[in-house]
Structure 1
Amino acid sequence: MILWLNELSLWLTFLDGNRKLVKYPGETELRIFKLLSKYIKDPLQARKFIDNLLPFLGKKAQNSDACVEALQVIRDIIPVSGSETSPKILNAVSPLLISAGLDMRLAICDLLGVLAETDPLVLSVAKLISELNATSVMEMGGLDYDTIVHAYEKMSMEFFYTIPENQALVILSHCVYDMSSNELILRHSAYRLLVSFVEFSIQILRLEVKSDHEMPEAMVTSIADGCWTEACIQRMINKFLLKHMADAMGKETSVQKEWIDLLREMVLKLPEVPNLHSFKILCSDDPEVDFFNNIIHLQKHRRSRALSRFRNAINAEGLPEVITNKVFVPLS
């Protein structure tokens, strides 16, 4: 105890005299945390230590350098803290995966790898996230597209039966990131997995009409364990998918198209979600009539026709304001 207090005192003296060298907000605090982490041996203290570090990953404090440093300190203390910290850590890193750059993503991969050693239940997701962020050995800073696409191909609707909500959010957050990629193959891969999640959501929302012997064994187990409920799915649809869909409407047309295609799938397949059901009137088997197929079409007259159909739908049916204002108004 005396040893690390003396070392801390020396560090504080040094840092106090070098405040002008601080590169980012929170750097001094993180240096202290990093120093102290070497002396934490008690699991309870380690968990409290991690609780104090997680705010550095929060949205209001999202400086890239600070986040990477915090991720590394958390990674190093995980073996002491035990598996009890897994849910908090997963909840903290998921939002980062939506927009983080490569350095931070690789730091997250390292952290999840260590977390999986402590908590084997995280192993499959940790491996997948590592593969989804695989880098090329031939090109510095480049991605290994073969490994990434192969990782996407490992996941289907059935995959979501095997993981709880907080692990699913880690994977889906990465999908949101790839939906904005400049690479078509990554956008399509992410889109297909999001559609798989929509199909999984259908199964959960329609459980009340099925008996146990009609459901796949994995689904029965997932429901029995309380991993997935109707409330979970409604929250994921409204607070996650629709939120990030709205955010994407300010991006380039290629990104908008992937999200609009996903919204059409959701409208057709998830009538149980109140915010979506009303928009079914905009769908059509005729691609030249279907609103979703034409609202961001290259041809101006197709876009105009889609907007006309949209106005008629509003006048005739009235459509939920949340999706209308956040998703469709930016497209008009």
Structure 2
Amino acid sequence: MKRFFPLFLILVALVGTLACKGKTQNQVNETSKLQQMKDRYYSYSGSADESKPAPAASGGKSEVQMLRSTGGTSEASDLDLPASRMVIKTGSLGIRVKDVDKAYSQTLMLVEAKGGYVQSGTVSESGGARADLTIKVNPEGFLALVSALEELGNVETKTISGQDVTEEYYDLSAELETQLEMKARFFELLKQAKNVDEAITVEQQLERIGYNVNRIKGRMKYLETMVGESTITLSLYSESRPVSEPFINWSEVGHGFVVAARVLVNIFIAILYALVVLIPLAGIGFLIFLLVRSIIRSRKAKKTKS
């Protein structure tokens, strides 16, 4: 038994060494996987200055502070608030012209001269010549272009409106700043993650924040585009074409039938009213006639007896 004891000790030591080596290898694998997850997320999140925390060379500034500074990243430009009010200008004109084709050509030249462009345009001939255009122009030239277009013919409809979106833009800017602050904090948490489960949880939050940031930036970009270009909807149409008279005007025929039916109904109602009034009067008259005849007969009978 004593002879196998050293062999038993060697076996136990070997098993312990293998177990420690396996545990160490697992820790190394998990650490490597965690680092790969961090590197992969950094590479997917965009450029280094947008996704990773600010380096020490930045003077200790946080990501949001760097974004607020002038000349920062693309996200910094989204946090620049407008110096004046943001108004989306739109207008609508309906103009009757003598020659739609000529007025259409004049419109194209006017728009080009004012620095705008025609976004869409359609021309139709059904029911009279007509052209519909959607025009984009800088806000500074909006009223000048509207005045120039009014000279094309007789303005029959005109609508001008302005939608103030300054408050919405300010709210979006504040929301974007909050999301970026959260993003910076979660990047720090990702940097400090000790295992894969913690990294996965932080990544899920970063993905949610990234979706919110893209949504806010998209809406802000849309508002900037709409404010930067005013919209004019223009309709050009010619004088009404004469319509040839048909041999039989069926509308007048139908109207005649309606009038005749109304006359017959009125006559029938008048007859009913007459009957309602005359029948009682006739009954009273008949009773009076019978009474008078009875009195006359009784008097004649008395005279005959006497």
Q: Normalised by the size of structure 2, how large is the TM-score?
A: 0.20
Tell me which protein shows more helix as a share of its residues: 1
- TM-score, normalised to structure 1, is 0.19
More relative contact order, 1 or 2 (CA 8 Å, 6+ apart): 2
Task: Return the index of the structure with the highest Cα Rg.
Answer: 2
